[in-house]
Structure 1
């Protein structure tokens, strides 16, 4: 970073750490907007307690975290009221550092004047730091995601694929990112949106990388099974994203739909909702084959919008990554409208959540209406990003004619 950036980053991290130790309401840890059944800190602590006392935490229906977190936080990094805020702040700091590194690699510069701004846009994003204050493990997922992208941008394929495999252990929907990250490792992360060129697949390099990713995933899966002593964790963690057994309210679009769903229709719509996430991979990778970093960014937006158990961290990561694509800003179609929808949703979500679950003066329709507004905001941001990514490659001639993308 430049001189100001060198001071800004540690100052931001120090401020975040002080905020993490501030006497904040414990209700944050139980807020459905900040943590889900798969990322809840209280459920993680409960699982660790059962594991340390010789009880299989996956024998019940509450613990749905990865065995990787179970083994890590029950041995090497024990969770206490003092260590937890430090660990989660460190995770956010590493994520912000990785985002700055991605920006530098994209611009091809060692330092830029925007480094401090990019770090601040991540660390001060309410969608990022509120789940972190709630000690949601989604903060760790965001860190692993940005590390995987950063290593891919640097061409360090093994490190990128291992980080992605670790992320898949925590969150199965992250497998959506496998294709663009593998392709990103064999290309350059520099900005190519304005100069689109067809990508000629290098199968001799891609297939070994895919095999390496599968190998890392298989190795971590085996290690998780050894930790647990059985395969029950697969159903409770990965299976939860496919079968949606816990309908605890969250900012996503799934929970209310399946609350109202008749049981005999449930398997069909679970299949439709799950397969629906897969259909975006090929179109986005093909359309943005000249810039796989941008395709990765867009798939993060798809994941934030349609993930089964989302938290505010998921759209927060997507929105924070806007900062590394300044070339699209002039081409965003409705940025003010999108920002206002997000502002509106950020006010409605806690208000309607409180009216329903705390004061008892509302019902589930109140909160679900606010999640629909939130989904509209995320969808609008995603559509804006897709439109701008396509529009930046269109030049205007002096006579007023347009040159379409090749």
Structure 2
């Protein structure tokens, strides 16, 4: 039965949170779990102040945002909380449109079902996404652009999808992991084939052409960023270079910062290469294994980023957890969802506690907070492995059910024939 959509109500509530002064919002802006050096609102404000005073923001080594964001907030709109609320609304809307495209529904006139209400509620009410947005972390914009790229790809809007993923890669280079599955969605279909795997049926000859179009958009953004930076290339080292060289070891829920804090300098380049390549090696195996459902492959790679990203915030695993609602067909095949949920709950309680003990109270050390980060890594890994298992198991499970039904049907048919013979 149709129900009233929850989307308008949740959008109004989110806008209300943006307008009303919230107690403790300044504390959220300083929280290392919600903002990284690459997404911090405080560092964005510092860059805006430096720009207003005719000082190059990229010379000090503390500002890591893209010149595009710097120009956006210095010339077009001020960095007000309502911008983050609108971004959340757009992200939830994109997630809903992806669901409709996957179900084969009209993008504009989808059914007002409980499933759609659940999808938008999971996005708006996910604390991993809500709290970074309230902290005004720019990771909110990255998540929204990722969902827009997947939405446009699911609806077959080629140029829009490639432009959205080009923006995403420009803001966070590690999002390049999502490029291949998005290209595969563009040349195939977002409809689920998890239960009936088959060889990739898209036009592979189009992928190089689409990659060339993506490269063109990306180069245009690079040129625009250089123009906005006054012709200087310092922003490349400060922005993109920070994701590869890890110059700022501010604590975060990720797995990189503590490892490189304890690393000897002469081993650092080698392990930076290992950690970076470790992210890339997941692309081909996942895309090949789930070639029959590239949207699910993109979902798994979002989970990889949400576990192993260099400067991780809670918004990264939050996007992965919210996207699970797009794939209800695999929910019954998850092996240990309760264990994964308890691990996330355990990490969600430990991270703020150890952060206060170490950073605010000074009663602990870095090992306390890193232990909580390891629990978060275990939670992300458990969810990722479970999603991979469920995506592969659903085909075997459905095939087993079909075979059992076929055997039962043949047995029933045989019994019916035997009974007719007895009656005769």
TM-score grouping bracket, smaller chain normalisation:
over 0.9
**CA drift at 1:169:** 1.3
Match of 2:213 in 1: 212
Write the distance in 2 (CA, Å) between the matches of 1:203 and 1:189: 16
Q: Distance in 2 between matches of 1:311 and 1:138?
A: 8
Query: Matches of residues 296-311 of structure 1 in structure 2 within 5 Å?
Result: 296-311=298-313
Q: Any idea what the Cα deviations from partners look like across 1:104-153, whole Å, max 9, x if unmatched?
A: 11011222511111000000000000000000000000000000000000
1:42 pairs with 2:48: no
Write out aligned runs for 1:210-289 (5 A).
210-229=211-230, 230-289=232-291
Cα root mean square deviation, aligned: 1.4
Pairwise CA distance, 1:19: 2.2
Question: For residue 53 of structure 1, what is the aligned residue in structure 2?
Answer: 53
**Aligned residue number for residue 164 of structure 1:** 165
Query: Which whole-Å CA distance do the structure 2 matches of 1:73 and 1:359 have between them?
Result: 35
Contact 2:39 / 2:138 at 8 angstroms: preserved in 1? yes
* C-alpha contact (below 8 Å) 2:188/2:202 kept by paired residues: no
User: Do structure 1's residue 96 and structure 2's residue 123 form an aligned pair?
Assistant: no
TM-score (norm 2): 0.91
Q: CA deviation at 1:4?
A: 1.1
Of 9, 16, 19, 2:17 maps to 19
What SS does the aligned partner of 1:146 have? helix
**Residue 404 (structure 2) aligns with:** 398
Tell me by how many angstroms 1:203 deviates.
Answer: 3.3
Q: Could you say which residue in structure 2 is the equivalent of 1:404?
A: none
User: How far apart are residue 202 of structure 1 and its match?
Assistant: 2.2
CA distance in 2, matches of 1:10, 1:183: 33
C-alpha separation between the residues in 2 aligned to 1:23 and 1:309?
Answer: 27
Kept after mapping to 2: 8 A contact 1:253/1:308: yes
SS state at 2:395 partner:
coil
Q: How does 1:1-400 map to 2 (within 5 A)?
A: 3-5=3-5, 8-20=6-18, 21-25=20-24, 26-79=26-79, 84-109=80-105, 110-113=110-113, 114-200=115-201, 202-229=203-230, 230-394=232-396, 395-396=399-400, 397-398=403-404
Determine the C-alpha separation between the residues in 2 that align with 1:24 and 1:9.
Answer: 26
Give the gaps of 5 or more residues in structure 1: 402-406
Deviation at 1:168, TM superposition (A): 1.0
Q: Deviations over 1:253-277 (max 9, x none)?
A: 0000000000000000000000111
User: Structure 2 CA distance, aligned partners of 1:220 and 1:2?
Assistant: 43
Looking at structure 2, the residues matched to 184 and 49 of structure 1 have their Cα atoms a distance apart, in angstroms, of 42
Offset, 1:213: 0.4
How many angstroms apart in 2 are the aligned matches of 1:203 and 1:392?
Answer: 26
Higher mean alpha-carbon deviation, 235-244 vs 21-30, is at 21-30
For the Cα contact (< 8 Å) 1:100–1:115, is it kept in 2?
yes
Stretch moving more, 21-30 or 325-334: 21-30
Cα offset, 1:399, TM superposition: 8.8
CA distance in structure 1 between the partners assigned to 2:142 and 2:98 by the alignment: 17
The whole-number CA distance in structure 2 between the counterparts of 1:117 and 1:399 is: 32
For 1:310 and 1:148, locate their aligned partners in 2 and report how far apart those are by CA, in whole Å. Answer: 21
Larger Rg: 2
Report the count of equivalent residues.
395
303-312 or 21-30, which deviates more: 21-30
Give SS of 1:398's match.
helix
